[in-house]
Structures are given as C-alpha cells and as structure tokens.
A = this chain, B = another copy of it.
Amino acid sequence: MPSPRFLALDWGTTNLRAWVVADDGTAGERHDFALGVSKLAQGEAARRFREEVRPALNAETLPAVLCGMVGSNLGWAQVPYLDAPAGLADLAASLFRIEGETPAVAIAPGLRAVRPDGGPDVMRGEEIQVLGWIALDPARAKGEHVVCHPGTHAKWVLVRDGRIERFVTAMTGELFDVLRKNSVLGGLEGPDDDGAFDAGVDAAGDGAALASRLFTARAKVVGGGGMAPDQVKPYLSGLLIGAEVAATPALLGAPADAPLALLGDSTLCARYARAFARRGLQASVSDGDQAALAGLNALFDKGMDR
C-alpha cells in the first residue's frame, strides 16, 4: 500500500486546494479551504497552514510544495517571478524554501513574460497546470501549442518544445463580474440560455470596439431588440468570451496552425469550447486539477526530493 509522500497545494487568491500525494504518485481527494490569500491578514499564511491545513489532512510530518498567489506579497512569502521561456526544470531549480520551516515548505515562483504588444505579463499558479499538462502527454512537449486557461484572469499560453514560451492575460472573468454586479448590464438572473450565449459570441465580431459591443446587451432590451432581461447574463458571457477568443490568439502571436487546448475548470472550459466551436475552432479540453497535480508532483521530484 502506498504511503504519504508530500503535500501538494494550489493556494490562490480565493481558495486553497490541497492533496496528499503518495509515494506512487497518486493523490487522495482534493481538500478545499476558504483561505485564499485575499482573505488572509498580513503574515497569517504560515500559521493558518500549520494550524488548519496540516491537521485537517493528517499531514503534520510531510514536506509541502505550494504554488499560486501564496508566493505574492499577499501570501506567505514574496517569491520573485521567473522569466519565460521556462519549463519544469527551471521552476524546480528556483523553488523558494521557507527558511526554518519544518517539515520543509517550498513555494514555486510565478512566471513573467514579455508580451508581443510590449510590457510584461505575469502569472502565479496557472504555469504549474500548463507544465503539468505537458508532462501528462509526451506529444505536448513537441512543437507549438496554445493553451487557454479560463478564469477571473484567463491565461493564453504559447507552449514551445515543452516550455512556456510566453503568455497573455485576459481579464474576461473579472470584467464579467464587475459588469454584472456594478453596471447597467447587471440585473435579473436567468437560467442558462445557449441561444443567448451564442448570440453574444456572434455580437463580439472581430473582438474590436468591446465597449461599444457591450452596449448591445442593454439596447437589445430597452430598444426593442427582442432580448429578455434574464438573457443579458448569458449574452454578456458570450460577448466577452467571444471577444477574447476572437482577438487574443493574434495578440499572443500564436501560429494559426498550433493546436488549441482548454485547461482548467470543467464548467468554464465547456463555455469556452462552445465559443470556440461557434467560431469554427477546435480545442481539446483537459482537467485543471489533474494537471496541477502532475505539475506539483514533477516539481517535488525534481526540486525537493533530491
């Protein structure tokens, strides 16, 4: 019977997700804690980890590998970004050990890349999923792939020969949230409505003039455009995702023939897959948890257990 080997944590802005990983590489069920770094007081991460996470998992004696916003100024320790291009070996060589912590705790650095349109872009956490996704299939380590990781801040990643070459962040999820909660596009909740979602994807056009296209979600209700108030939500979702899908690959400088992959939360990935299909694009869909575990497993192998 396999015995526990280490603790794997994806510790993000809103949630902490943890697994006990056995010495044969398999993991038990995922444990979620409402300990996202945005909810923690300054300097509180270490104590909450020792007093709440370790006991809940019977993991007081295991070393731990952490990734995500826990490595930011809001988290446990500010770990400098590593510059892309970077692969798993680069991240493993840059694991940040918490000094004096026993059992050992190491935090993976985030990544920084230069955007084709200038300036930096950054991520903390998604890089582990992308690199884990590559590790799960040797075919993904060859040539170029475009990975879309949807979320509050969606990440579009160009993978080249098994490493993260560069990436671009789209604030689509956050835009959706703030517009629903705080703008004239808020209002009635409705059921899922694929027709309204598809209409939104179509209304995104080439992805330009987003602020102008957004207003159609209002005008179609008040101007006799035949949209019911409870269709605004799925229409807005389709419009924002459609605009992202239409324009972000070009902004990333992705080769047109690179295979597209969706990686992350299954519900969100299904929404994006629908928008891709509506635009005549095909994408594979992969589970984010499985990829995160593969990435943290590889990091522990290469970076801590040596």
Contact = CB atoms under 8 A, between A and B. Distances in A.
A172 B246 CA distance: 20
Contacts of A119: 203, 216, 219-220, 223, 225
Nearest to A227: B119
A117 B213 contact: yes
A168 B170 CA distance: 25
Interface in A219-253: 219-220, 222-225, 240, 243-244, 246-248, 250-251
Given A169-B219, A208-B246, A243-B211, A224 B120 contact: yes
Nearest to A72: B222
B210 A211 contact: yes
Given A118-B203, A220-B119, A211 B240 contact: yes
B120 A210 contact: no
A209 B170 contact: yes
Nearest to A184: B174
A117 B207 CA distance: 12
**Count of this chain's copies in the oligomeric assembly:** 2
B203 A244 contact: no
- CB-CB nearest 6 A-B residue pairs: A120-B223, A209-B247, A208-B247, A169-B215, A210-B210, A122-B223
Given A170-B212, A171-B212, A171-B214, 18 more contacts: A81-B223, A81-B224, A115-B219, A117-B203, A119-B216, A122-B223, A156-B212, A168-B212, A169-B219, A171-B183, A178-B179, A206-B208, A209-B243, A209-B248, A210-B210, A210-B243, A211-B240, A212-B244
18 contacts: A117-B205, A117-B216, A119-B220, A119-B225, A121-B215, A121-B216, A121-B219, A153-B215, A169-B219, A171-B215, A174-B183, A178-B178, A178-B183, A182-B182, A207-B209, A208-B250, A209-B247, A210-B211
Interface of A: 72, 81, 112, 115, 117-122, 153-154, 156, 168-172, 174-175, 178-179, 181-184, 203, 205-216, 219-220, 222-225, 240, 243-244, 246-248, 250-251
